[in-house]
Amino acid sequence: MNVPLMLDGTAFGSASLPSSWNATPRVIDGGGSGATLVWSSPSGANSLNVQVSSAYGSNHNVLNGGNAFDPALALPQSGCSISANEGAVYPFTCSGFQGFVDTNPAVSGAVTVWTVGPNGSELSYILNSIQLSSSALASEGQ
């Protein structure tokens, strides 16, 4: 089934999930700078996580005087590493899960998408089905 990726009533993409999965995500509030949407399999063993971080700093090192662009700042946990640069998309791997960061130097945030669970083929299909638009990220200074 195709589900919209929405935050605060604004659609910013879509994902294709197995029909057995819950079509309504659990929403984890990001404290004013976004949120994480979590869809899971019936058993809860597999999940799709979509984190929208609108905060300046999720892709820029605000502690660095030059505010250098660094998409790795949007990775979901330590131990993850970006494996490639595919335009504004940065695939990454971690122990037990995989995903990508969608960001660029002209925006003040990032969308981080990852899957977790033992069903690798199903999760790869879901991850590859993700379509994002740029509406989730505001331009810097806005």
pLDDT tens-digit series, residues 5-25: 988 788 889 999 999 999 899
Say what percent of the chain tops pLDDT 70.
Answer: 89
Tokens of 141: 């200074």
Q: What is the pTM of this model?
A: 0.88
The predicted pLDDT at position 2 comes to 95
**Residue 109 scores a pLDDT above 70:** yes
pLDDT tens-digit series, residues 67-101: 788 899 899 888 999 999 988 899 999 988 899 99
Tokens of 31: 């404290």
**Exposed / middle / buried, residue 134 (Cβ in 10 Å: 0-12, 13-18, 19+):** middle
